[in-house]
Amino acid sequence: MYASVAEVRAEGVSPASAADARVLALLDEATRTIDRATGQYFEPRQAKLRLDGRGTPTIELPVPPIRLDALRVDYEGRQPFPFITASPFVLDPSTLVIVGSPVGPGFDSARLTLRHGLFFQKGHGNVIAEGVWGYTEDDGTPLGRTPLAVKRACILLVLRGVLPLADEAAFEARSRWRILEERTRDQSYRLDANRGGGLWLTGDPDVDALLTPYVRTLPLGAA
């Protein structure tokens, strides 16, 4: 999860308004919402990915690798690359360039690139990569940290969830961003319909503004 109970409590959510179990459930829901909205995730997770070779030296990844433990490229029952040895697979750093997490300035996309004239043979799910994955920021540790903007977005989603649905003030706070015009007996004013403009991710412009820079871009050639 991208934030902790303690961090939510620091925002003024008392145990009386939401017990720990409810906060944890809301944190889990917010984390899943962020994953769906952005198309990637922001904490270290062990996983095995099946990717399509494109007949090029570079293959773009759906989520940055933090640590690549194994790589297998199957092509017509063969494993043609010299950087692959018998299990467990050993990756030759001079043959494979990895761009992943923790990300730093200038990061554009997660990818693996073969050197020395090698390329990923075309195939459907023929590239199998195992390791620890996740979009994390550099904080001086090997795994990195959840981006602070993503953490803040997670906390905001939890705070929205803590507000009781039947409470009139809470409903107004939830719906305030939808208001385009307000009138009194003596005056009226119209709000900017495009405020908070950008991608529609969660329906909350404050959260969406935080998450928009982290939406996964489509790989080259994708429709």
Which two structure tokens, joined as six digits, stand for 207? 């959260």
Same domain flag for 124 and 193: no
For the beta carbon of residue 33, count every other beta carbon within 10 angstroms: 18
- Please enumerate in sequence order all residues whose Cβ is within 8 A of that of 89, keeping only pairs 6 or more positions apart, or say none: 70, 71, 72
Predicted local distance difference test score (pLDDT) of residue 69: 87
Question: Do the beta carbons of residue 181 and residue 78 sit within 8 Å?
Answer: no
Predicted local distance difference test score (pLDDT) of residue 99: 92
Predicted local distance difference test score (pLDDT) of residue 92: 64
Indicate yes or no: pTM above 0.85.
Answer: no
What is the rounded distance in angstroms from the CA atom of residue 178 to the CA atom of residue 75? 53
Predicted local distance difference test score (pLDDT) of residue 215: 92
84 domain residue, yes or no: yes
Predicted local distance difference test score (pLDDT) of residue 186: 62
Residue-range definition of the domain harbouring residue 196 = 5-29+146-214
**Positions of the chain with pLDDT lower than 70, given as ranges:** 74-93, 164-199, 218-223
Same domain flag for 163 and 197: yes
Q: How far is CA 190 from the centre of its chain?
A: 35
Last residue of a domain, which of 99, 133, 167? 133
Same domain flag for 175 and 120: no
Predicted local distance difference test score (pLDDT) of residue 209: 93
Same domain flag for 169 and 117: no
Which two structure tokens, joined as six digits, stand for 99? 């761009």
Predicted local distance difference test score (pLDDT) of residue 113: 92
Domain count, the chain: 2
Predicted local distance difference test score (pLDDT) of residue 31: 97
